[in-house]
């Protein structure tokens, strides 16, 4: 049965300042949703709140995965439950190689635990190295990523495009139920956008629900969404099919501002 | 009477110095050196805590009287060859080497030097054998670099030194695999005084890794002297893995000849308190040296490194990087000095101390210093201390790692930058294994 991720009347913010003002959105596995809106409308906040960033507080509403609230879960528990966030600004962590980090992540998400046999514990809590390498190589090939990536330090000295491709590689390896792509296309030239989008396209299918958060139409030229939502001042103000994205592209966000007014800070 | 003599518990006295020299059947010059050192020891006052080098490292709770300088009787209690395998196998297995030396309580209990290197004139043995079999060579170098009166503990060391590694590599011999020493104190309440002496002649190359461990409720007072000859390459890794109850003191010094390249690394994992002086003397043009350090402190541990980059000759380069991670109420002190002497033009000298604070109660003091008496030099130094950035943790957690796993990976990665500078994969692997051990996790879990 397909999983669902449901965001129900979500109000959240930072230090008492409300940024999300009643978000309602339901994703099913296999669906691609695009969340479009101007800068500063709270799109990235939504992504962080879904992932459980400790800096944000939820004031009311809920996020449900298959009907169960995830609000009390830590970020790693959410990841293990099948939620993935591709970061807009992935952090660089020197000294930790991509391959080793990913092996830990894959093992954690897939729930590897040490097996015991007559000789004692075997294989610690990690996916067997051979199996992991094989899968990593396969995914890197599929995404057109150079094998040398695996030995580099996590995002350390990576170009903008490389960082985003590494996010997609992680998505491919972790096989979540739901992926949120936060401005994955931002800051990339058109070739890089294409490369990243082609990667995502190979991963979409019946087992993955995707929420593409973007400012522009251009990534949607490669990945056709089933649904498009317009996000403005902390909530979804309009939803529709793919044609809505084209409309936004043609008219910009001005008409949204006219129709829904300037953002008003809630007291 | 004889029985009494045999079982006598020696204390730190001039009689004990002679008794030890008798026991070891040493040549006069070595006995004289010990006696001279003992006089210095008596002359040099105990640190009061007011001296610059001791200001942040109080010796409260350390009582020399609590230890015995040596005990012939107790030596019989150290493990036999049969027990060797179980105790040392893990340590040895981690590194393929050109030779191994295992010592316990200052006494060599296993020794191996690959024939290939023996045939080419390489000497790798314990210090006492070296004194006996290569007296001229040893006398030429022993105690010439770390002076017998360098400090109170160096004086004590020279009066009572026992055991240690002697490594000599003749001209044009490049030893491929590292040498490895395991130096242990297996008995509780021991006082250890290991002495390391490494000489590389012109165009030679060698790597030595030393692993110090054991020493429950004990003390260790060691000296390391490294002599990289002209155009030679010398790598030295000192793994300080003493028991958490041991008091550790050390004086280490390197004298770099023309165009030589030295890498010195100390990893300080163990001991309750550790005070180590490390000095790099660049005495001839073209010498290059790296001083590397890693430390991880927990509980009430106190680790103090005091370094000196001494640029005496022109056109030399020194690069220092010390990185530490601190937990609980532990404390680290890093005191580092770069001195550029008059005439040491074209000096390149760098120094950095980075601390990762894993706990708000831990404290890292970093005191860099520069003294430059030449005008055409490049010198930088810097120190940082801060927690793991929250964004690192959130990023890793968002990939399914729990906080502990994430922290460990980040700490391991933090040290990795130092370990890769050793430029020897075998040694790097070995050091990584000690980090994993220190963090109490399987090596694989660190992502190495």
Distance CA B56, CA B50 (A): 9
In B, which residues are within 8 Å of A74 by CB distance?
397, 402-403
Per-residue pLDDT tens digits for A127-168:
998 999 999 999 999 988 999 999 999 999 999 989 999 999
Instruction: Give the chain A residue whose CA is nearest to the CA of B418.
Output: A95
Q: What phi, psi does B73 have (nearest 5°)?
A: -60, -45
Distance CA B68, CA B19 (A): 13
- Domain annotation covers residue A130: no
- Domain annotation covers residue A243: yes
Q: Which domain holds residue B28?
A: 10-284
- Domain annotation covers residue A98: no
In B, which residues are within 8 Å of A51 by CB distance?
398
When the pLDDT of each residue in chain A is averaged and rounded to a whole number, the result is 90
Instruction: Give the chain A residue whose CA is nearest to the CA of B397.
Output: A76
Q: Given this model, what pLDDT does residue B206 score?
A: 98
- Domain annotation covers residue B342: no
Which residues are within 8 A (CB) of B5 and not within 5 positions of it... i.e. 6 or more apart?
none
Mean pLDDT of A44-49: 96
Q: Cβ–Cβ of B399/A79 closer than 8 Å?
A: yes
Name the one residue in this structure whose structure tokens are 């003002």: A21
Are B258 and B231 within 8 A, CB to CB?
yes
In A, which residues are within 8 Å of B395 by CB distance?
87, 90-91, 93
Per-residue pLDDT tens digits for A30-42:
999 999 998 889 9
For chain B, say whether A125 makes contact (Cβ under 8 Å).
yes
- Domain annotation covers residue A238: yes
Distance CA B25, CA B45 (A): 30
For chain B, say whether A126 makes contact (Cβ under 8 Å).
yes
For chain A, say whether B116 makes contact (Cβ under 8 Å).
no
Per-residue pLDDT tens digits for B426-444:
899 889 888 888 887 777 7
**How many contacts does A have with B, using Cβ atoms within 8 A?**
92
For chain B, say whether A179 makes contact (Cβ under 8 Å).
no
Question: How many domains in chain B?
Answer: 2
Tell me: pLDDT of B80 over 70: no
Same domain, B392 and B258: no
Are B317 and B344 within 8 A, CB to CB?
no
Its ipTM equals 0.94
In A, which residues are within 8 Å of B405 by CB distance?
104, 108
Confidence of residue A267 (pLDDT cuts 50, 70, 90): very low
User: Closest partner residue to B401 among A51, A76, A153, by Cβ?
Assistant: A76
When the pLDDT of each residue in chain B is averaged and rounded to a whole number, the result is 92
Q: Cβ–Cβ of B400/A76 closer than 8 Å?
A: yes
Lowest mean pLDDT among B6-10, B22-26, B333-337, B373-377: B6-10
Question: Which residues face B101 on adjacent strands?
Answer: B111, B181
For chain A, say whether B403 makes contact (Cβ under 8 Å).
yes
Instruction: Give the chain A residue whose CA is nearest to the CA of B402.
Output: A76
Q: Cβ–Cβ of A174/B442 closer than 8 Å?
A: no
Tell me: pLDDT of B270 over 70: yes
In A, which residues are within 8 Å of B448 by CB distance?
100
Distance CA A230, CA B201 (A): 74
Q: Given this model, what pLDDT does residue B7 score?
A: 52
User: Closest partner residue to A93 among B390, B392, B397, by Cβ?
Assistant: B392
In angstroms, the separation between the Cα of residue A267 and the nearest Cα of chain B is: 29
- CA angle, B267 then B97 then B443, to 5°: 50
Residues 195 to 254 of A: which have CB under 8 A from any B CB?
none
In B, which residues are within 8 Å of A120 by CB distance?
none
Boundary (domain end) residue, out of B284, B299, B317: B284
Q: Cβ–Cβ of B413/A96 closer than 8 Å?
A: yes
- Domain annotation covers residue B267: yes
User: Closest partner residue to A124 among B397, B414, B445, by Cβ?
Assistant: B445
Q: Give the strand pairing for A153-154 and A93-97.
A: antiparallel
Q: Cβ–Cβ of A93/B394 closer than 8 Å?
A: no
Q: Given this model, what pLDDT does residue B4 score?
A: 43
Boundary (domain end) residue, out of B259, B284, B309: B284
For chain B, say whether A153 makes contact (Cβ under 8 Å).
yes
- Domain annotation covers residue A101: no
For chain B, say whether A111 makes contact (Cβ under 8 Å).
no
Q: Given this model, what pLDDT does residue A121 score?
A: 54
Identify the CA nearest to A87 among candidates A170, A197, A31, A200.
Answer: A170
In A, which residues are within 8 Å of B294 by CB distance?
none
Q: What is residue B309's three-state secondary structure?
A: strand
Are A16 and A78 within 8 A, CB to CB?
no
Q: Cβ–Cβ of A79/B391 closer than 8 Å?
A: no
In angstroms, the separation between the Cα of residue B351 and the nearest Cα of chain A is: 19
Q: What is the DSSP letter of B140?
A: H
The percent of residues in chain A predicted with pLDDT above 90, rounded, is 69
Instruction: Give the chain A residue whose CA is nearest to the CA of B403.
Output: A76
- CA angle, A250 then A256 then A258, to 5°: 115
Per-residue pLDDT tens digits for B172-212:
999 999 999 999 998 889 999 999 999 999 999 999 999 99
Identify the H or E element spanning A105.
Answer: helix A98-110
Mean pLDDT of B363-381: 94
In angstroms, the first-to-last Cα distance of chain A is: 43
Q: Given this model, what pLDDT does residue A115 score?
A: 60
Q: Domain with A37 in it: what CATH number? A: 3.40.50.300
Question: How many domains in chain A?
Answer: 1
Q: Which domain holds residue A207?
A: 4-89+159-260
Tell me: pLDDT of B3 over 60: no
In angstroms, the separation between the Cα of residue B280 and the nearest Cα of chain A is: 27
Residues present in chain A in total? 267
Identify the CA nearest to A11 among candidates A40, A43, A46, A36.
Answer: A46
User: Closest partner residue to A93 among B413, B415, B448, by Cβ?
Assistant: B413
Give per-residue burial for B171-186: e unless 16+ CB within 10 Å, then b: eebebebbbbbbbbbb
Q: What is residue A168's three-state secondary structure?
A: helix
Radius of gyration of chain B (CA): 21
Confidence of residue A245 (pLDDT cuts 50, 70, 90): confident
Which of B384, B394, B400, B401 has the highest number of chain A CBs within 10 A, making it the mutation to test binding with A?
Answer: B400
Q: What is residue B230's three-state secondary structure?
A: coil
Boundary (domain end) residue, out of B268, B284, B300: B284
User: Closest partner residue to B400 among A90, A91, A109, by Cβ?
Assistant: A109
For chain A, say whether B415 makes contact (Cβ under 8 Å).
yes
In angstroms, the separation between the Cα of residue A37 and the nearest Cα of chain B is: 24
Q: Which residue has the higher pLDDT, A121 or A206?
A: A206
- Domain annotation covers residue B87: yes
Tell me: pLDDT of A124 over 70: no
Give the dihedral of Cα atoms A245, A250, A256, A258; nearest 10 deg: -170
Q: Given this model, what pLDDT does residue B83 score?
A: 66
For chain B, say whether A73 makes contact (Cβ under 8 Å).
no
Tell me: pLDDT of B402 over 90: yes
In angstroms, the separation between the Cα of residue A87 and the nearest Cα of chain B is: 8
Q: Given this model, what pLDDT does residue A120 score?
A: 53
- Domain annotation covers residue B425: yes
Taking each continuous run of H as one helix and of E as one strand, the counts in chain A are 8, 14
- Domain annotation covers residue B334: no
For chain B, say whether A97 makes contact (Cβ under 8 Å).
yes
Distance CA B267, CA B265 (A): 7
Tokens of B95: 């590194």
- Domain annotation covers residue B155: yes
Instruction: Give the chain A residue whose CA is nearest to the CA of B442.
Output: A124
Mean pLDDT of B384-407: 94
Identify the CA nearest to B331 among candidates B353, B306, B304.
Answer: B304
Q: Given this model, what pLDDT does residue B5 score?
A: 47
Per-residue pLDDT tens digits for A82-109:
999 999 999 999 999 999 999 999 999 9
Q: Given this model, what pLDDT does residue B446 score?
A: 67
Distance CA A218, CA A206 (A): 24
For chain A, say whether B400 makes contact (Cβ under 8 Å).
yes
Question: Which residues face B352 on adjacent strands?
Answer: B321, B382
Q: Given this model, what pLDDT does residue B448 score?
A: 57
Same domain, B147 and B27: yes
For chain B, say whether A96 makes contact (Cβ under 8 Å).
yes
Q: Which residue has the higher pLDDT, B19 or A259?
A: B19
Confidence of residue B347 (pLDDT cuts 50, 70, 90): very high
For chain B, say whether A257 makes contact (Cβ under 8 Å).
no
For chain B, say whether A115 makes contact (Cβ under 8 Å).
no
For chain A, say whether B407 makes contact (Cβ under 8 Å).
no
In B, which residues are within 8 Å of A78 by CB distance?
398
Q: Given this model, what pLDDT does residue A117 score?
A: 58
Are B149 and B40 within 8 A, CB to CB?
yes
């Amino acid at each position: 049965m397909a999983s669902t991720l449901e965001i129900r009347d979500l109000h959240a913010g930072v230090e008492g300042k409300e940024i999300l003002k009643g978000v309602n959105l339901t994703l099913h596995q296999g669906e691609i949703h695009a969340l479009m809106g101007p800068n500063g409308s709270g799109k990235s906040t939504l992504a962080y709140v879904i992932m459980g960033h400790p800096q944000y507080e939820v004031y009311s509403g809920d996020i449900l995965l298959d009907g169960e609230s995830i609000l009390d879960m830590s970020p790693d528990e959410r990841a293990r439950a099948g939620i993935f966030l591709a970061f807009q600004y992935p952090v660089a962590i020197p000294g930790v190689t991509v391959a080793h980090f990913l092996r830990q992540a894959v093992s954690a998400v897939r729930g590897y635990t040490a097996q015991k046999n007559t000789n004692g514990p075997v294989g610690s809590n990690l996916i067997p190295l051979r199996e992991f390498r094989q899968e990593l190589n396969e995914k890197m090939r599929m995404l057109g990523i150079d094998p040398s990536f695996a030995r580099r330090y996590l995002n350390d000295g990576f170009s903008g495009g490389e960082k985003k491709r590494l996010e997609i590689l992680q998505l491919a390896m972790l096989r979540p139920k739901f992926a949120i792509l936060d401005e994955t296309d931002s800051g990339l030239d058109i070739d890089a956008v294409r490369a990243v989008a082609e990667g995502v396209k190979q991963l979409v299918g019946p087992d993955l629900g995707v929420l593409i958060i973007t400012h522009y139409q251009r990534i949607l030229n490669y990945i056709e969404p089933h649904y498009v939502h317009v996000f403005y001042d902390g909530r979804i103000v309009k939803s529709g099919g793919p044609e809505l994205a084209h409309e936004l592209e043609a008219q910009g966000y001005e008409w949204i501002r006219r129709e829904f007014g300037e953002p008003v800070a809630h007291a | 009477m004889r029985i009494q003599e045999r079982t006598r518990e020696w204390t730190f006295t001039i009689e004990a110095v002679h008794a030890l020299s008798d026991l070891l059947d040493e040549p006069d010059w070595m006995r004289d050196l010990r006696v001279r050192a003992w006089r210095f020891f008596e002359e040099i006052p105990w640190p009061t805590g007011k001296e610059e080098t001791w200001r942040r490292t109080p010796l409260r709770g350390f009582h020399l009287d609590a230890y015995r300088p040596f005990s012939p009787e107790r030596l019989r209690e150290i493990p036999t060859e049969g027990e060797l395998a179980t105790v040392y196998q893990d340590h040895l297995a981690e590194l393929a080497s050109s030779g191994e030396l295992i010592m316990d309580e200052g006494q060599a209990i296993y020794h191996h030097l690959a024939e290939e290197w023996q045939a080419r004139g390489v000497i790798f043995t314990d210090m006492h054998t070296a004194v006996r079999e290569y007296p001229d060579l040893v006398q030429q170098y022993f105690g010439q670099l770390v002076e017998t009166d360098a400090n109170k503990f160096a004086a004590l060391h020279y009066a009572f030194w026992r055991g240690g590694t002697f490594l000599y590599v003749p001209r044009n011999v490049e030893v491929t695999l590292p040498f490895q020493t395991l130096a242990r104190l297996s008995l509780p309440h021991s006082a250890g005084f290991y002495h390391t002496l490494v000489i590389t002649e012109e165009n030679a190359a060698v790597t030595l890794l030393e692993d110090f461990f054991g020493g429950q409720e004990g003390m260790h007072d060691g000296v390391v002297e490294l002599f990289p000859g002209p155009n030679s390459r010398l790598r030295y890794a000192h793994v300080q893995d003493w028991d958490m109850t041991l008091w550790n003191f050390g004086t280490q010094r390197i004298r770099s000849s023309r165009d030589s390249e030295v890498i010195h690394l100390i990893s300080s994992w163990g001991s309750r308190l550790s005070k180590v002086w490390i000095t790099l003397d660049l005495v001839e043009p073209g010498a290059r040296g790296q001083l590397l350090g890693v430390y991880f402190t927990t509980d009430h541990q106190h680790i103090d490194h005091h370094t000196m980059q001494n640029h005496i000759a022109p056109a030399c380069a020194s690069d220092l990087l010390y990185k530490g991670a601190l937990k609980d109420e532990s404390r680290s002190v890093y005191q580092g000095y770069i001195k550029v002497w008059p005439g040491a033009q074209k000096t390149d000298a760098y120094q950095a101390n980075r601390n990762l604070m894993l706990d708000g109660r831990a404290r890292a003091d970093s005191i860099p210093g520069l003294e430059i008496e030449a005008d055409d030099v490049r010198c930088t130094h810097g120190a940082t201390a801060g927690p793991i950035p929250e964004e690192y943790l959130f990023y890793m957690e968002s990939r399914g790692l729990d906080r502990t796993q994430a922290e460990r990976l980040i700490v391991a990665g933090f040290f990795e930058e130092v370990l890769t500078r050793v430029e020897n994969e075998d040694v790097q692997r070995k050091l990584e294994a000690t980090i994993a051990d220190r963090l109490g996790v399987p090596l694989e879990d660190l992502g190495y």
